[in-house]
Structure 1
Amino acid sequence: MDTLLNDTITPTLIENVTYDELQIGSSAGFIRTVTRKDIAIFAALSGDVNPAHLDDEFAAASMFNGVVAHGMITAGFISTILGTMLPGPGAIYLSQSLRFCCPVKPGDRITVTVTVTAKDDEKKRVTLDCRCLNQDGTDVVVGTALVIAPVERIVRQRPDLPELQVLHQERHQALPRQSHTVPA
């Protein structure tokens, strides 16, 4: 993540906000620049190889005039906040309703925020307003999420994630041909 909007978050830890600590208006967010690598990794992970996301020639002729990110990348950013910031670890994501307002293109800087709008004391459920804006302040995704908030404090080390590389298939197809030219 590029920038945390909530400067009380420790980058080496993930910690939750319990149901009792949550207030109407509590919010958290971060800023992330979407890259071609993000799009390629998401395509490989999800299997969504729609040419609107990966094929420059096809995408240039589309209504978007270029490659666009998968909508679920931005939805995933919302999930990041819910699972690691607000409410954070221990939250159970029950549902979401999202509207994709504007395409996200490689290089777009997305500000992702969630804000508590309602609490259900009996079920410990929290409704959150979810919003992703681009660098121009234009809404790209808006909606709501419903979660069960944790009732006990959880603080965990932020796990080290593996570095991912995008290796295009053509590169691997050349390896067998190259191996024939290597002396034994």
Structure 2
Amino acid sequence: MTHAYIPDQMPEAPAVIENITFDELCIGQSAQRRRALTQDDIEAFAAVSGDTNPAHLDPAYADGTPFHGVIAHGMWAGALISAVLGTQLPGPGTIYLEQNLRFVRPVHVGDALTVTVTVLSKEPEKKRVELDCTVSNQHGDTVVFGVALVLAPTLKVRRPGATVPRLLLEEAAGRLEG
């Protein structure tokens, strides 16, 4: 079985995308993005990452784990952080240098995550910016947190928004059903 996968929480591509340069960034400045996890998200992430851990893909197996059901790949939340850094704060032209993450709660299908990225410090000589990164669920519980270090853009970037291609997910023969 093949079906198109288009995340239903993906915001429409903005007509224009614009960064915030190093000089424009202020300590305490923040940006947010919200996204709910779907089973298709888990399957697409497994397909592109190669992480086929049964905790993410096999409901019968996952029900017997301490999380009592299928959970998201931890790095799916990390990818949401990357999306905020690369498209919002600082935005286009940002170079991701470093990230530490602590995974404190599982994310289940249907959980709505809010990613908040906040400027903690700026290093003028190297144009580096340290950002607090927090991912919380619909109950306000933190599920992932950490600190990112990026090389912030120094030149203004203003470009047409990108439209991402549609993914087609195809059921694998002999796949476990739950």
TM-score (structure 1 length as normaliser): 0.87
Residue 170 of structure 1, CA deviation: 2.4
| Equivalent position of 1:174 in the other structure | none
Residue 11 of structure 1, CA deviation: 2.1
| Equivalent position of 1:125 in the other structure | 128
Residue 27 of structure 1, CA deviation: 0.5
What aligned pairs does 1:21-170 form with structure 2 within 5 A after superposition?
A: 21-170=24-173
How far does the alpha carbon of each residue in 1:87-106 deviate from its partner, in whole angstroms, 9 at most, with x for none?
Answer: 00111100001100100011
Residue 165 of structure 1, CA deviation: 2.3
| Equivalent position of 1:179 in the other structure | none
How far does the alpha carbon of each residue in 1:2-36 deviate from its partner, in whole angstroms, 9 at most, with x for none?
Answer: 487xxxxx822221000000000111111000110
| Greater relative contact order structure (CA < 8 Å, 6+ sep) | 2
Pick the structure with greater CA Rg: 1
Match of 1:103, SS state, is coil
Match of 1:170, SS state, is coil
Unpaired segments ≥5 residues, structure 1: 5-9, 172-184
How far does the alpha carbon of each residue in 1:109-149 deviate from its partner, in whole angstroms, 9 at most, with x for none?
Answer: 00001000000011100000000000010000000000010
Identity rate, percent: 52
| Equivalent position of 2:3 in the other structure | none
**Aligned counterparts of 1:90 and 1:33: Cα–Cα separation in 2:** 27
- Check whether the contact 1:69–1:103 (CA below 8 A) recurs between aligned residues: yes
**Aligned counterparts of 2:154 and 2:89: Cα–Cα separation in 1:** 13
Unpaired segments ≥5 residues, structure 2: 1-7
**Aligned counterparts of 1:3 and 1:157: Cα–Cα separation in 2:** 17
